[in-house]
Amino acid sequence: MASKFIPRNVFPLSESIPRSYFLGHHKAGLEKMKKKIDSVDYVIECRDVRIPVTSINPMFEEVLGGKRRLIVYTKRDLLNSNDNILRKNKERVRKLDSKAAAVFFTTSTFSHSGKPILEQLKSDARATNNLGTCQVMVVGMPNVGKSTLINTLRNEGVHKAKAAQTGAQPGITRKMGTPIKILDRPNGSSVYILDTPGVFVPYIPDAERMLKLALCGCVKDTIIAPVTLADYLLYHINQNKPDVYEKWCEPTNDVNLLLDRFAHQTGLLGKGGIPNIDQAALNLVQKWRAGELGGFFLDDIRAELKKERDTQNALGIGLYKNKTPANKRKNARDAQTT
């Protein structure tokens, strides 16, 4: 009788995994946001629903300050966890955003998906300038789907064609765009939206977070070795549904075996019939990104929330600032001395 397959429950992280991907246009984009923020009335922050914690960029907290904000978890179609897991995780995710005006889980590639967001903006986004136009800035990590969301909102809101360029690789938007109209409100005022370049963080101390961001496409595919990325994907697939790759290979923890079989069966062979393992690894990752190999959370949201809280409390920054008893005492002391 065949022995039962046991998936790995820990992924071996190599020290050689790069931890940074902070490019010139990320830095410039962040600077531009800082300059622009005073003339912006509202912020939409996009995060990838598969990595709801890992795709938070704490640097936005510093830049965006207290601007009224709604959070959009993008690429909802790429999750097909069972309803119970999804509901529980959505509740956990919402806890992250207690200060947000609203939270949405959206598939921007579906038509009409922007409707609830537009309804929210219609009633909630106020213009602070004399012209009565409201400016909304969209921010997020690279490739989370900001420009796609903008196009959907524009199409739904003012029935106009695509205005922002989109693409499967990060870094398609490199400069802050010009304002794009997405809504005419009954009171005669309009809502305009600004696209911004995706911004990464300067250094990711946790190598596993880097792998998650890379797997979701926030990092260029040349940064992490394709076989490492495919191995990390295999680790997650095995914990969720190993039968998604049964047409190529039996359940395995050996990425080289899977890639070898995949390369042979999909014709990825070089001279002398040698399988092109790197290309096989990239193709496998792309299949997952296209939703063909199951959709699941990469973040263990409960564990990530705890890790995030611990890190940010230690640094005294970000989402959890002011929330610990020690911080509350410090804030009370600060308030007394000012």
Ligand X SMILES: Nc1nc2c(ncn2[C@@H]2O[C@H](COP(=O)(O)OP(=O)(O)OP(=O)(O)O)[C@@H](O)[C@H]2O)c(=O)[nH]1
Q: Which residues are annotated as a binding site?
A: 143-148, 198
- Nearest distance, CB of residue 209 and ligand X, angstroms: 18
Place of tokens 């695509």: 162
Query: Which segment (50-58, 136-144, 248-256, 328-336) binds ligand X by CB under 6 A?
Result: 136-144
Q: Does 261 bind ligand X (CB under 6 A)?
A: no
If the CB atoms of residues 40 and 149 are measured against ligand X, the closer one turns out to be: 149
- Nearest distance, CB of residue 109 and ligand X, angstroms: 4
DSSP H/E element including 25 = helix 24-36
Q: Does 173 bind ligand X (CB under 6 A)?
A: yes
Q: Mask of contacts with ligand X, 220-249, x by CB under 6 A?
A: ------------------------------
Site for ligand X in 85-114 (CB under 6 A): 107-109
If the CB atoms of residues 120 and 189 are measured against ligand X, the closer one turns out to be: 120
Annotated binding residues for GTP, written as ranges, equal 143-148, 198
Q: Does 148 bind ligand X (CB under 6 A)?
A: yes
How many residues at the interface with ligand X, by CB under 6 A? 24
Place of tokens 């903006």: 121
Rounded alpha-carbon distances, angstroms, from residue 39 to 43, 100, 133, 179, 298: 11, 19, 11, 12, 36
Query: Which segment (62-70, 166-174, 176-184, 208-216) binds ligand X by CB under 6 A?
Result: 166-174
Q: Which of 52, 114, 170, 275 binds ligand X (CB under 6 A)?
A: 170
Q: Does 202 bind ligand X (CB under 6 A)?
A: no
Q: Which of 52, 114, 198, 295 binds ligand X (CB under 6 A)?
A: 198
- Nearest distance, CB of residue 196 and ligand X, angstroms: 8
Q: Does 144 bind ligand X (CB under 6 A)?
A: yes
Q: Does 75 bind ligand X (CB under 6 A)?
A: yes
- Nearest distance, CB of residue 150 and ligand X, angstroms: 8
Give the amino acid at 73. Y
**8 A C-beta contact, residue 228 and residue 242:** no
Distance between CA atoms of 74 and 105, rounded to whole angstroms? 6
Q: Does 29 bind ligand X (CB under 6 A)?
A: no
Distance between CA atoms of 295 and 292, rounded to whole angstroms? 8
If the CB atoms of residues 168 and 315 are measured against ligand X, the closer one turns out to be: 168
Tell which residue, 5, 3, 7, 4, has the closest CA to residue 233.
7
User: Across the strands, what pairs with 139?
Assistant: 45
> How much helix, strand and coil, in percent to the nearest 5, is found in the chain?
45, 10, 45
Q: Which of 74, 135, 228, 312 binds ligand X (CB under 6 A)?
A: 74
**8 A C-beta contact, residue 63 and residue 37:** yes
Q: Does 162 bind ligand X (CB under 6 A)?
A: no
Q: Is the dihedral of CA 144, 229, 91, 318 positive or negative?
A: negative
Q: Does 312 bind ligand X (CB under 6 A)?
A: no
Query: Which segment (15-23, 30-38, 171-179, 237-245) binds ligand X by CB under 6 A?
Result: 171-179
**8 A C-beta contact, residue 204 and residue 193:** no
Q: Does 324 bind ligand X (CB under 6 A)?
A: no
Place of tokens 């792998």: 211
Residue 245, judged by CB atoms within 10 A of its CB (0-12, 13-18, 19+), counts as: buried
256-259 own/partner pairs: CB under 8 Å, 24+ apart: 256/227, 258/230, 258/234, 258/284, 259/227, 259/230, 259/284
Q: Mask of contacts with ligand X, 266-305, x by CB under 6 A?
A: ----------------------------------------
Residues at the site binding ligand X, with contacts judged by CB under 6 A: 74-75, 77-78, 107-109, 140, 142-148, 166-168, 170-173, 197-198
